[in-house]
Structure 1
């Protein structure tokens, strides 16, 4: 079946190049050249029906006709314009095209496949119709003329063509479904991977059977084996007893009122907090819920953070009350010691700054414990020129709680202020020697600290006790068992501090 250029009549050319026909052809059959062995039986039946050696199921585009299935030939394509089939598709959708003897038909007698090998003589074909468009043919060829073709043969050929068209449509629909399923599978896999990466547990509860289908993240949250399906009662049992009743109540309410379920609960085995959300996905004919779809998110860190924030706020509220009471007392006592407003502001501002520094350290550590070394640096640095040279420290590693830190901060501030005005820090070569040891007294840790001023001017005990001295001695009153003793030695002031930790 050699290719040849033929000038087609206008009607045949219009059908051959019809945009609508070609659109249906290419959408219905993705791969035109690829043979389809499932359709070969139809071509064999067609050939047997006419007692012909060749049976073809062809798909005809604007240039080529492709033999989708063939019996009696190994050829897979031929020119559309030089084909018998172009005349078949240009006729009526239900019409058969018959050529009893091609040598006597002027349309075909001079074509190479008629005048030469394989010396075709007989042709019978009917359109292959999909969506009311002739996309190809079911046809037979013979090298011998056929005098007659019966109505029964034509009807049977038409039935075979409809069967072939139906099979092509089914294959196309199956291919489209496979593509959609592949896309859906990829989406499901992507969603599953995203949920797992985000540690979000997803679940589908079959209310009637009690089965819960869930992902790996959900199973991990409840400490269950990776079987994929668990019983709802096992999940409910895993909820912490203190949260179980409220959680089940919210679930029932969401199911009854068609609301969204939203609840936070703990998992008993691990103690972790989960946020659950979901709603009824399907109901039966009576309106009863059959499927419940939801997710769980691990919110343990948020819950711990919230609880910690509440504790810190309570602690801060307590500290603010204590601090305000302390400030009121400081203000009154400072005011009693001086009638000069500027002197009052200077003294009071220094003490206020001391409390502020201690509060700042405690706030940085969420009102937990702070290191003694940090408190010493905050309180003493404002009063020295060179901290490393003027402050000599010998200490153990000691942690202070809030009450200890605020009280000891005030003591250190008063001692440093006094040393800067009158003591060792008032001269260039003076310094402070601090020793701080943690001593075990009857099973309890106690801080023993000694403040010794070295290299300062001679010291004599004052004739009256000022507010600074009173403040030094009483700043630790809130800590039971604490004491501060100040000794005015001639070589320099010494303070002995005892503070239970």
Structure 2
């Protein structure tokens, strides 16, 4: 049920158009048009308190007043400009009581007061979210009242406050569920990337002895995929002839704050593993708290001495760079957020970007990889229809390890930003990439342009986040490279220069 007023009050217009109020409303209750049985009890209590024919829990956007719960009517919405409840929201912190609308100059000429359903009595209290009036708890009746006690009005206001609290609780639950779902997806992608590259990753809690490791690590050490892992399990799996030296190297790395670098055999299988790692953080007294690292199965490389020497030299360099990058990414990401779920989402995505590049390089024995393959690996997880959303114009380009890892991170950060705010946040948006080999002073240089089209209007951010810094610095290891990001109104454009 709704009541149309004779003309729109200026205060009502200001309320309906207020961007702050609409922002709070849409952010907190994105499904406002859907009735919610969780609010039925509030409407039923209001109807009972006032012995009223109709009771509502409403939300008011620019055009409509939506009924989240209703007693005495089957309607689900009403025009916002003509609703009694809009006057309540316009007053923000005050309730509205109309004892007899037929003699009230604001509503006496209204057609639903003069005609069916002959509304006479109305009482409403505002629902406040973050200081903004977004709706009401209200009651209607076709019988006028001579008076309404302050205690009843107080109870109506308490019901409105209860509705506001319920909206907040449901919003927090919704946001938490979205974060948990996003984290779960990122964890799955992370695990798949490391599995594809056959890299065991681990984080050792030195005080408790617990080791958090992926399935690749457990498989390398002959441990059950479902089992919890402790330091005793790991050291116990190492060949007895290599165990002492491995433990000594770890202790020395902790003491000297240096990097651990060790190769050892697994006792049961005889397979050779390469481990690299270092202390991740320390307590106030300098004692190590956690140790982070990676483990790679190098059995096949050991079969050929010359091949092993060449490959290990490259692997040591790459793993060292990757470990340093992982630590830097972890620390910088932690500085950006104190929320564990948000940290894991951001960190896992960046770790996935590194893993994807490592996986391609591993497939090509750490030689060169094709630019098109790297682009596909980094962008496929961010789009639903790759052929429609990614347009690629390119020359044939081959990338070395430093170039591939650095450019992979740049592409990941650009894609993540595009999914959140840019062209990939809408179904018809897309990214156009143009890659050209250009000869400059006798040397070949890749000019790669990232252009977002079809997305929402873009504004340059007021503050440079870690993602922006990472885009600019991911290619630091490649001399002469540069990344320039331009926030054009039509879409983000990135100009990448990369010597080949």
For the superposition of Structure 1 and Structure 2, which TM-score range results when normalised by the shorter chain? 0.5 to 0.7
Deviation at 1:79, TM superposition (A): 1.0
1:50 aligns with 2:50: yes
> What is the distance in 1 between the residues matched to 2:68 and 2:123?
17
Correspondence for 1:222: 221
* 1:14-34 per-position Cα deviation (integer Å, ceiling 9, x unaligned): 112212211111111111111
> What is the distance in 2 between the residues matched to 1:278 and 1:298?
15
Contact 1:258 1:279 in 2 (8 A): yes
Deviation at 1:288, TM superposition (A): 4.5
Matches within 5 A, 1:143-182: 143-182=142-181
Q: 1:302 to 1:133 in 2, by over 3 A?
A: same
Correspondence for 2:301: 302
Secondary structure class of the residue paired with 2:303? helix
Correspondence for 2:29: 29
Deviation at 1:278, TM superposition (A): 3.0
Output the aligned Cα RMSD.
2.5
Correspondence for 1:319: none
Secondary structure class of the residue paired with 1:55? strand
Deviation at 1:209, TM superposition (A): 3.9
Using structure 1 for the length normalisation, give the TM-score.
0.57
Higher relative contact order (CA 8 A, sep 6+): 2
Secondary structure class of the residue paired with 1:70? strand
Contact 1:261 1:277 in 2 (8 A): yes
Deviation at 1:54, TM superposition (A): 2.1
Matches within 5 A, 1:280-295: 280-281=279-280, 288-295=287-294
* 1:69-88 per-position Cα deviation (integer Å, ceiling 9, x unaligned): 22222221111111101111
Correspondence for 2:498: none
Secondary structure class of the residue paired with 1:212? strand
> What is the distance in 1 between the residues matched to 2:59 and 2:89?
10
1:212 aligns with 2:206: no
> What is the distance in 2 between the residues matched to 1:285 and 1:309?
41
Matches within 5 A, 1:176-191: 176-191=175-190
Deviation at 1:281, TM superposition (A): 4.6
Contact 2:2 2:84 in 1 (8 A): no
Q: Which range is displaced more, 41-50 or 287-296?
A: 287-296
Correspondence for 1:237: 236
Correspondence for 1:100: 99
> What is the distance in 2 between the residues matched to 1:77 and 1:161?
18
Contact 2:302 2:308 in 1 (8 A): no
Secondary structure class of the residue paired with 2:300? helix
Q: 1:308 to 1:125 in 2, by over 3 A?
A: closer
Correspondence for 1:493: none
Deviation at 1:201, TM superposition (A): 1.4
> What is the distance in 2 between the residues matched to 1:261 and 1:110?
85
Correspondence for 2:126: 127
Q: 1:123 to 1:287 in 2, by over 3 A?
A: farther
Correspondence for 1:79: 79
> What is the distance in 1 between the residues matched to 2:259 and 2:146?
78
Q: 1:292 to 1:51 in 2, by over 3 A?
A: farther
Correspondence for 1:466: none
Deviation at 1:6, TM superposition (A): 4.9
> What is the distance in 1 between the residues matched to 2:39 and 2:278?
49
Q: 1:51 to 1:63 in 2, by over 3 A?
A: same
Q: 1:252 to 1:6 in 2, by over 3 A?
A: farther
Q: 1:164 to 1:256 in 2, by over 3 A?
A: farther
Secondary structure class of the residue paired with 1:90? helix
Deviation at 1:102, TM superposition (A): 1.1
Q: Which runs of 5+ in 1 are unaligned?
A: 312-501
Correspondence for 2:485: none
Deviation at 1:273, TM superposition (A): 1.8
Secondary structure class of the residue paired with 1:66? strand
Deviation at 1:259, TM superposition (A): 4.1
Using structure 2 for the length normalisation, give the TM-score.
0.57
Correspondence for 1:394: none
Q: 1:98 to 1:271 in 2, by over 3 A?
A: same
> What is the distance in 2 between the residues matched to 1:259 and 1:35?
61
> What is the distance in 1 between the residues matched to 2:122 and 2:63?
21
> In terms of Rg, which structure is larger?
1
Correspondence for 1:20: 20
How many residue pairs align between the two structures?
Answer: 310
Correspondence for 1:271: 270
